[in-house]
Amino acid sequence: MTAEWLGYLAATCTTLSFVPQAVKTIRSHDTSGISLWMYLVFTVGIVCWFGYGIHLDSWPMIASNAVTFLLAATILRLKLKYG
C-alpha cells in the first residue's frame, strides 16, 4: 500500500464518518446542540486543508475536504438560519 492509498483510505473514513451527522442535521434543521463558533472555526479549517491539498497536489486531501466543506457549510448555514 502506498502512502497515497493510505491518504485515500483516511480521507474516505473521515469524510464518511461526518455524513450521518450532516444528513441528520440537514433533515431535522435541529442545530441546538451545535456550537456556532466551533462550526465557524471547523469550516475555516476545512478550507485551509483544501488549500493545503491543492498546494501538495494531494487528491485525497482535495476531494475529502471539498465534500466535507460542502457538508460543513450547509450545517453552518442551518445554524445561522435556525440558531
| Total domain count, the chain | 1
CB 82 within 8 A of CB 33: no
CA 6 to chain centre: 19
Mean pLDDT of the chain: 92
In a domain? residue 68: yes
Q: Which three cell numbers stand for residue 64?
A: 475529502
In a domain? residue 1: no
In a domain? residue 33: no
Tell me how many degrees the CA angle 61-63-65 measures, rounded to the nearest 5.
65
In a domain? residue 34: no
pLDDT in tens, 34-80: 999 999 999 999 999 999 999 999 999 999 999 999 999 999 999 99
**To 10 degrees, what angle do helices 59-82 and 3-28 make?**
20
The reported pTM is 0.86
In a domain? residue 31: no
Q: Say what the pLDDT of residue 1 is.
A: 63
In a domain? residue 62: yes
Q: Say what the pLDDT of residue 77 is.
A: 94
In a domain? residue 24: no
CA 47 to chain centre: 9
Q: Which domain holds residue 49?
A: 43-83
